[in-house]
Structure 1
């Protein structure tokens, strides 16, 4: 069980980019926030992560690009991450062969978004990129809270989601052909604190779940007449939307109320996180 406080939660869903650099559907302050320096080394997923982190305010109201080095941990949960950059490198390699320039390599790693974020915000704590498939939201929360619990960091910056390259969509449709792939990344600050506790459960069913499924629900205090609220299902591939809904729900909890995020993979694996509020949170501000 982990204790923590939850800061602002934001979501960026830039529209159907298909992993390209097309600016259609991007927020109007996109270039103002992330700048264009070094843009040739950044793909759409990296830019989306930077936009969320640099544009967000922490609990004190300071912007994330203030230039001060911190012990913050950065945890990115993504199934496909920088696939667009990796695919682009492969295309360049096929075209140029031995003449391929080294400039194509800096952004073509599966964890380059994490590296760009850490360098830009001066985070010196743990840095990781996690792909746990359908279970990614729960696993990423566990890792982010572990960093706080083990005194590695006072703040964990959480980024969950995908911006789908054409190759990523094709791969996702191999095992979930009828599940939509919508671009989006959710961002949140997790702080040391005692407002909330999180409990985790991981396992595997003997009978596989019939389809990919994530559900978010609210459980009220025991002894009340209202009972548990009906769960909201998120059947799409991207974890960002279920994560945002879950963390938004956590912000609304009153003392003793619980929010539950449950993930089921088609192969039977499942993971659940239950967050309970113990105190009224007077410091965290929810972003629009």
Structure 2
């Protein structure tokens, strides 16, 4: 099966590599179809496309949009969109808007438990200040010696119920799917196995997503195990969705799944790239 990796992040959001370095890493790892999907941002798309074309690597535009659903942050990957579409550009700009205020509140909360200066520390890891995120705070807390690694940070801080967690209301599911589809792309539910949703909430997510025009779901991702592959392949059949595949790679030091190093999709599903042929560069 095609070695497609349709989910990763660069320094334009919360990754540690440039779009150009990611393209080189993808090609070196045998990726045949690649997409850069930065969080709520399409600013790296021109660089990623140019780098891929210079390497003879097939490319499809992408972004990962943050959504609030049932009180939980859910991510919707868009693939094959026109990155210059006004609705998409303006929608993503609005979604990014609240990040700085949230980050300052996170820093204030961490200061209350004896960790001062976290906002300024996190900024050192941010290429795009509009996209300051929990991952940047996690990197600073490791640098400051508060935790050994970013996984420990997320166990002890900046997650719900822990110091430094500040909720943020993102786009609605309908808005995100609409921005993607109106820009000519396909909306895909990212790593559904990660979300702490009840069975009823998950069914509602897929039902509503489908009703808004969503067409795909990540079946094989760095966050899924074998049981998830089987479960979400089943959801593809139940909801009439295509299947996507992506590592969610952020950093050579932090990501446990490298670009292109994923199992194949189950043979029973329709890969998203079969429906996106006209959008592949």
TM-score by length of 2: 0.28
Q: Which has the larger radius of gyration?
A: 1
TM-score by length of 1: 0.28
Structure of greater relative contact order (alpha carbons < 8 Å, 6+ residues apart): 1
Q: By percentage of residues, which structure has more strand? A: 1
